[in-house]
Copies of this chain bind each other. A is one copy, B any other.
Amino acid sequence: MSNDITYDAVRTDFIEKTGLITQAEGLPRIAGRVFGMLIFDGEVVSFGDLATKLQVSRASISTSIRILEERGLVKRVTKPGERQDFFQLAPNPYATMLERIHKRNRSIQADIAETIRSLPANSEALGRLNAHANFYASLDAAVAVALSELDTSRNTSAMLQPTAPKDYADDA
Which A residues contact B (CB, under 8 angstroms)? 3, 6-7, 10, 13-14, 17, 21, 24, 26, 39-42, 89, 94, 97-98, 108, 111-113, 115-132, 134-135, 138-139, 141-143, 145-146, 149-150, 153, 156-157, 159-160, 163-168, 170-172
Contacts and interface: CB of A to CB of B under 8 A. Distances in A.
A14 to B, nearest CB: 5
B166 A127 contact: yes
Task: Give chain A's interface secondary structure class.
Answer: helix
B166 A124 contact: yes
A113 B172 contact: yes
Number of copies: 2
A26 B122 CA distance: 34
B135 A150 contact: yes
13 contacts: A3-B120, A13-B115, A14-B112, A17-B111, A42-B124, A98-B139, A113-B172, A131-B159, A134-B153, A142-B142, A142-B143, A142-B145, A145-B145
